[in-house]
Amino acid sequence: MPRLRYTGGGTYRVGGYGFEAGEENNVDGELAEYLADHDDFEEVDGADADGGQDDAGSDDAGDDVTDGPGLTASDSGGESKPLPFNPEEHTNDEVADKVADIDDVETLQALRNLEEDQQDRTGATDAIDDRLDELEG
């Protein structure tokens, strides 16, 4: 399992993992690939620094990701900003209603990536993609 360090500020939660600034976690390969595309994560080489304990099994991993400050997206300046909601906690129709009010392309892309990582529901990703098309078209 790849080990990643969160270099951003605040808290970042995704796919059942929680990261605080400077914290390291072992994550599955698919999530590691997703996070590798974000400037706020770096892969840590070598053996586990914590004696082999997988942080994914810590009490943090079972915490529910809540709307707002727990979820972040990086803007083009490399700054992290909170996502407005966690798509996993809403129905497809609720996701469609919520994204209709979002005008920031990077936020929508982060929401789409999060939905794909969590539940990958066609209705939710289609709603986000439709809103992206409206803004980019």
In a domain, 109, yes or no: yes
Q: Of the candidates 18, 45, 62, which is a domain's last residue?
A: 62
Which structural domain, as residue segments, surrounds residue 27? 3-62
Residue 47 three-state SS:
coil
For residues 87-105, one letter each, b for 16 or more C-beta atoms within 10 angstroms of the residue's C-beta and e for the rest, the string is bbebebeebbebbeebeee
27 located within any domain = yes
Q: Model confidence over 78-98: pLDDT tens digits?
A: 566 788 888 888 999 999 999
In-domain check, residue 38: yes
Q: How far apart are CA 9 and CA 40, in angstroms?
A: 8
Looking at the domain assignment, is residue 69 inside a domain? no
Helix axes 122-136, 92-99, angle to 10 degrees: 10
Confidence grade of residue 68 (pLDDT, cut at 50, 70, 90):
very low
In a domain, 118, yes or no: yes
Same domain, 13 and 52: yes
pLDDT of residue 71: 60
* Dihedral-angle region of residue 113 (phi above 0 means left; psi in -120 to 50 means alpha; beta otherwise): alpha
* Contact by Cβ (8 Å): 81, 104: no
CB 44 within 8 A of CB 6: no
Contact 80, 73 (CB under 8 A): yes
Task: Assess if residue 81 is contained within a domain.
Answer: no
Backbone angles phi, psi at 79, to 5 degrees: -85, 145
The neighbour count for residue 4, using CB atoms within 10 Å, is: 23
- pTM, to two decimals: 0.49
DSSP-assigned letter for residue 38 = S
Same domain, 55 and 94: no
Number of domains in the chain: 2
Lowest mean per-residue pLDDT among 6-15, 20-29, 62-71:
62-71
Indicate if 46 and 91 belong to the same structural domain.
no
pLDDT in tens, 3-19: 888 887 777 777 667 77
Q: Check whether residue 47 and residue 92 sit in a common domain.
A: no
Specify whether 58 is located in the same domain as 99: no
Asked whether residue 76 is assigned to any structural domain, the reply reads no
Residue 123 inside a domain? The answer is yes
Where among 62, 79, 111 does a domain terminate? 62
Asked whether residue 51 falls in the same domain as residue 13, the answer is yes
